[in-house]
Amino acid sequence: MPLALVALAIGAFGIGTTEFVIMGLLPEIAADFGVSIPAAGLLVTGYALGVVAGAPVMTMLGTKINRKTMLMLLMGLFIAGNLLSAVAPVFGVMLAGRIVASLAHGAFFGIGSVVAAELVAPDKRAGAIAIMFTGLTVANIVGVPLGTFVGQAVGWRVTFGIVAALGVVGLAGVAKLVPDLPRPEGAHLRKELAAFRNVQVVLAMAMTVLGFGGVFAAITYIAPMMTEIAGYSAGAVTWLLVLFGIGMFLGNLTGGRFADRKLMPMLYVSLGGLAIVLALFTVTAHSKILAAATILLIGALGFATVPPLQKRVLDQAHGAPTLASVVNIGAFNLGNALSAWLGGVVISAGFGYTAPNWVGVALAGSALGLAFLSAALERRPRVAATEPLVQH
C-alpha cells in the first residue's frame, strides 16, 4: 500500500471529524453564543451547502495547479476554517469558519480519489479509494465521540483547535508522502465539463444522491427514533452512532474490495440490501437489540456503495475525471440534505419517527433502479456493434 494513501486518509479523518462533531456540540455552542438550537443548526446546514457549492468552484480554480499542490492548499483552507471557528467571538464568525472549512471538503475527497486511483494498478483502484475514505469512517468511530467528549468536558473551542491540528498533520503528510503528480496532458476546464455530457456519469451521480440519501433519511432522525421508539436513553445515542461508524468502516472496505472485481453487482447487492434493511428498520426500531444491529447494517450497506460509485464516476469520465469526481462528493452531501428534508416532512405530517425509513427505502430503491438502467445502457452499444456481423 502506498504511504501516500495514509496521508490522504489522515486528511479525510480530520475532515470527517469536523463535519460530524458539530452535531454533538450544538447545545454548548448555542449557549455560548446566546442563540437557539435551530439557529445553531445553521452550522450544519451551512457546512453541507458549502461542500455542494464549493467543491466544483475550488476544483475549477485549481485547474492550473498540479494535484498535490491543490491538496496542500485545500488542507491549508481546512486548517484556517477550523482555527477561525475555534476563536470566533460571535456566531457569525463561527458560521464563516464552518463555511471556509467546508470549501476544502468536496475538492479534497474528489481530487484525493483521483490521486489514490493513480497510485495503484487499474484493478486496485476502488480499494485505494476505500483506503482514503477509511479516514472518514474512522472519524465517526473515534474522532466524533472523542471530539464531543472533549468539547463537553473542557469546551468546544478546544475541539476545533484539535481538529485544526489534525489538519496540520494531514498537510504535512500530503507534502511528504504524496508524489508530485503532473497535470494530465491536455487537461483543462472545458474537457472536465465535457464529462458531464456522458449519461453514465450523470446516472452514477444520481445513484450517489439517492443511495446515500437513503442512509441519511434514517440516520438524521436516529436520536428521536431511538429514544422515543426503541427506549434508549439520550446518552446511548452517541454509542449507537459509533456502531453506525463501525458499519461504515466495514462497508467501505468491503465495497472497495469487491468493486475492483465486480463493480455493478456490488452496487446491486448493497443498494438492494440497503432498501430491505431500511424497510425492516420500521419494525426493528421497536427493539433495542434489533435496532442496534440494524443501525450497524445500514452503515455497512450504505458505505459499501461509496468506493464503487466513486470509481464508476472516475471510469466513465475517462480522461477528465477530476471535476466529475469532486461533484460526486458534493452529490453525497446533496443526498444528505434531500433525505433530511424529506424525513422532516413525513414526521411533520404525523407519520411518526419511523416514517423516514420509508423515505430511505424509496430513495435506495430508486438508486437500485438507476443502477440497472445504467448497466442496460452500457450493454446496448455492444449489442448494436455485433449486429452487422450477424446479418452478414
The pLDDT of residue 63 is above 80: no
The string of DSSP letters for 4-38 reads: HHHHHHHHHHHHHHHHHHHHHHHHHHHHHHT--HH
Measure the CA–CA gap between 10 and 165, rounded to whole angstroms: 11
The pLDDT of residue 382 is above 60: no
Measure the CA–CA gap between 18 and 222, rounded to whole angstroms: 20
Sequence letter at residue 251: G
Mean pLDDT of 318-340: 76
Nearest to 281 by CA among 335, 220, 360, 207: 360
pLDDT at 162: 95
Considering the entire predicted model, what is its pTM?
0.77
* Confidence at 218, pLDDT banded by 50, 70, 90: confident
Mean pLDDT of 139-166: 90
**Residues 331-373: tens digit of each pLDDT:** 887 887 788 788 888 888 889 889 999 999 999 999 999 999 9
Measure the CA–CA gap between 250 and 213, rounded to whole angstroms: 19
Measure the CA–CA gap between 328 and 306, rounded to whole angstroms: 10
pLDDT at 233: 87
The pLDDT of residue 195 is above 70: no
Mean pLDDT of 262-285: 95
The pLDDT of residue 286 is above 60: yes
* Confidence at 184, pLDDT banded by 50, 70, 90: low
pLDDT at 389: 40
Grid coordinates representing 327 are 461533484
